[in-house]
Structure 1
Amino acid sequence: MSESCNSRHFSWLMKSCLPNPSDAKSLVPIHHANPPANVTPISSLPDDLLLECLSRVPSSSIPSLTAVCRRWSRLLLSPYFLHLRRRLGLLRHSLFALSAVDSGLFAAVLQVQSETPSWRVSLAVCADGGQGSLSHSRAAAIGPRVYVVSRNAVLRYDSWMGTVALRSPMIFPRKKFAIAVVSGKIYVAGGGGGSEVTAAVEEYDPERNRWEVVTHAARKRYGCIGAAVDGVFYVIGGLKIGNETSRGTAAHVYASSMDLFDVRSRQWLRSRSVPGGGCVVAACAAVGHVYVLSSHAVELSFWRFDARRGGGGGFGEWTRLKSPPLPAQVRLDGTVRFSCVGVEDKVAVVQVVGCIDDLLRRSGRSERGLRESLVLLYNTVDGEWRRAADLPEMITRAACACVEC
């Protein structure tokens, strides 16, 4: 084979890749210009400007951005990033439900403002192996992160990343307690173990991962429910466990009342009672009000408490609302429990059957049409109820909260 190159031996395709000597444009050299000296890479921006840029990315891109470097991960997990996305209107409030299984945590998210809302389910595994101790847990959300608080463990689930981390447990192990979020911190009150009910009210700081006792309640409640509006932590319902003679009367009073703790002043306000008595089985906060679901053995009543302290004059007023339309096969007994969650201008009532086989046996009804968990949405604007998509079958004994994601 000849060592010299002869253009006649090249195919037409190879010739087309060679410059044409008669074409002046083909002889112009290609210069790879360096970027202008005044172009600044994004990594050299100060934290505030970098946060402004990162806060505008889609939610689906956040997990990959945290893997860029430690600095980006720190900024994306900071409260300033959450504040910027909230200010830009990029966060959507959603109903969140979480349940623990041996393999991890099943998390489900429902966009209640969607025209055709449906649940989005994911499975997250706790690297620290703490999901097995979440019996009698309560859930509280701060932005996109849900804190699942149980008697001996606290898990933080990040709805953006889909990750689970073990956090510091409460100082006083307790179950069936009240929980709420005020100004980015979690407050718990009431509950306990066995016959011991604690009066300590604890505050959890997520940034420091630390619990501390901030006050003691005048009344010890077991099985109570929490809500928060306008800087006030409401400890609602529950029972009094004690040795006094009038135990039955005291238990009834506790079951239909609520104590008010002003977080800023660290003072307890005057207690309030739900009209009509009954036993409070669920409560939540939404659009400046506390919504209470009360059981009267054979029926439910639904109430609204005006919790706005801005000088409007309506603070402390109660209004009875339309009761939730439960299916006929649901009985109000120990096998059924309820959870209320405020999601923007909606109140979601989640009904969970604790033991569906036992309920069917008592009612004598067939299983057709009976779901273990159903979701009802109350529109605070028009005062109407509608049924939303039932909880997925793998979500059992769910802890519910409102999450921003």
Structure 2
Amino acid sequence: MTTTTTTTTSGGQPPRPSAEPQLIPDLPDDVSINCLSRIPRYYYPKLSLVSRSWRSAITSSALFTTRSLLHTTQTSLYLNLRINYSFHWYTLLSNCHSRKIPQKPIFPLPRIPFQPVGPAFAVLGPKIYVIGGSINEIPLNLMWVYDCRFNRWEEGPRMKVGREFAAAGVVDGKIYVLGGCVVDSWARSVNWAEVFDPDTGLWAPVPSPIEVREKWMHASAVVEGRVYAMADRGGVVYDVGLGKWGNVSKRLDLGWRGRAAVVRGVLYCYDYLGKIRGYDVEEDVWKELRGVGKGLPRFLCGATMVNFDGRLCVVWEGKGSGKEVEIMCADIEVWKDGDGMLSGRILWSDVILTVPNGAAIVHCMASEF
């Protein structure tokens, strides 16, 4: 016969389970979070290996909130390149020209589990969303999410319909996706535009006029709470706050070329001469960006832009050797002069990556966390 002994406290009650261990011994967890938030972000993948509690802390919203309050967040550039008919991802650390960073300024990321053509892209906090696209010319309703904090991909909630070459934009913490689907059924018509709420993990349809539902999008941007989506002919704009649709101005339509970026309310892209211009939404006019002509080439094709910490970051394909292409990057401070014109100053420009000949830039994004 086996006797089981139960240990009790002096009051006859079983002992309480021990509390969760502190992140840092003898320090309250909120103080530990404060300490972790001051450590440069590129150390986080290694710090997450310390323990399960450290991994949980580093992925928590509390750490991101604390970093924001302390102004210790960092922005990194993320590139999607097409190389030899497959897609590759890279990241460029912030202040990549600084010698204080203890590793190479650019390094490859894990490849996405599938290789879609023509997906839409969106960035929310520390996550990059790759939305839709097609495989073997079949539009997908899939969404993959890259967590910049831990260098990993995960599948996200699926859209109502499959899309390729859709437009996407982030407004008030939600992702709006427009077009990219053929309206040949009631379901596709109702879901021509959808919105994703990351807090609930749900997609919902956005009511849209019938006359805009057959447009396929080649460019998009968000300006002051309005999502602009450009089709081959014309484009549409959706005011999220008012819930209203409209057509883009003819002047914007004629001047928008390539992939654009919005910095301080001005939409920047390059014109047919390869010069950078900015579109002032309020004035409905394009203006050449002065002061950068001597330091940049003519962007006749292949350039893409992104808002990088309130500056204009331009990435393009430069000339390498016969078998290689140089991926170039320029960090440009931009502002509006007293006369209302636009000026810029190149803070830094250099080669960031060398890839095989024939490679092309698909998209670039910036994530801050």
Please report the TM-score for the alignment, with normalisation by the length of structure 1.
0.64
CA contact (8 A) 1:125 1:163 kept: no
1:263 to 231, 235, 240: 240
Residue equivalent to 1:124: 110
1:222 to 209, 216, 223: 216
Residue equivalent to 2:278: 304
Residue equivalent to 2:312: 347
C-alpha deviations, 1:171-203, integer Å up to 9, x for none? 222222212222222221122369999672211
Residue equivalent to 1:205: 197
CA distance in 2, matches of 1:76, 1:380: 34
Q: Does the alignment pair 1:59 with 2:52? A: no
CA contact (8 A) 2:266 2:280 kept: yes
Q: Mind listing any 5+ residue stretches in structure 1 that lack a counterpart?
A: 1-39, 240-250, 308-314, 357-365
Q: CA deviation at 1:380?
A: 0.7
CA contact (8 A) 2:87 2:115 kept: no
> What's the Cα RMSD here?
4.1
Q: CA deviation at 1:147?
A: 1.5
The 1:51/1:266 distance shift into structure 2, 3 A limit, reads farther
Letter in 2 for 1:56: R
2:355 to 374, 393, 398: 393
Residue equivalent to 1:234: 228
2:116 to 113, 122, 134: 134
CA distance in 2, matches of 1:49, 1:400: 36
CA contact (8 A) 2:22 2:29 kept: no
1:146 to 128, 132, 137: 128
Residue equivalent to 1:360: none
The 1:383/1:46 distance shift into structure 2, 3 A limit, reads same
Q: CA deviation at 1:350?
A: 2.8
CA contact (8 A) 1:371 1:390 kept: no
Instruction: For 1:36-185, list aligned pairs within 5 A.
Output: 41-42=22-23, 51-67=33-49, 73-99=55-81, 105-111=88-94, 114=97, 119-124=105-110, 130=113, 132-151=114-133, 152=140, 153-185=142-174
Q: CA deviation at 1:165?
A: 1.3
Q: CA deviation at 1:100?
A: 7.2
Q: Mind listing any 5+ residue stretches in structure 2 that lack a counterpart?
A: 1-20, 134-139, 336-342
Letter in 2 for 1:265: L
The 1:274/1:347 distance shift into structure 2, 3 A limit, reads farther
CA contact (8 A) 1:190 1:224 kept: no
Q: CA deviation at 1:99?
A: 4.2
CA distance in 2, matches of 1:384, 1:371: 26
The 1:89/1:367 distance shift into structure 2, 3 A limit, reads same
Letter in 2 for 1:262: D
CA contact (8 A) 1:157 1:165 kept: yes
Q: CA deviation at 1:401?
A: 0.7
Residue equivalent to 2:16: none
Q: CA deviation at 1:75?
A: 4.8
CA distance in 2, matches of 1:184, 1:302: 29
The 1:150/1:46 distance shift into structure 2, 3 A limit, reads farther
Q: CA deviation at 1:369?
A: 10
Letter in 1 for 2:161: F
The structure with the greater share of residues assigned to strand is 2
The 1:404/1:182 distance shift into structure 2, 3 A limit, reads same
Residue equivalent to 2:6: none
The 1:282/1:73 distance shift into structure 2, 3 A limit, reads same
CA distance in 2, matches of 1:167, 1:188: 15
Q: Secondary structure at the match of 1:87?
A: helix
CA distance in 1, matches of 2:144, 2:306: 20
CA distance in 1, matches of 2:197, 2:29: 23
CA distance in 2, matches of 1:176, 1:91: 32
Q: Secondary structure at the match of 1:282?
A: coil
CA distance in 1, matches of 2:245, 2:28: 44
CA distance in 2, matches of 1:72, 1:56: 15
CA contact (8 A) 1:175 1:193 kept: no
Matched positions, count: 319
Letter in 2 for 1:342: N
CA distance in 2, matches of 1:193, 1:112: 43
CA contact (8 A) 1:321 1:383 kept: no
Residue equivalent to 2:344: 383
Single out whichever of 283-292 and 212-221 deviates more from structure 2.
212-221
CA distance in 1, matches of 2:366, 2:270: 18
Letter in 1 for 2:249: R
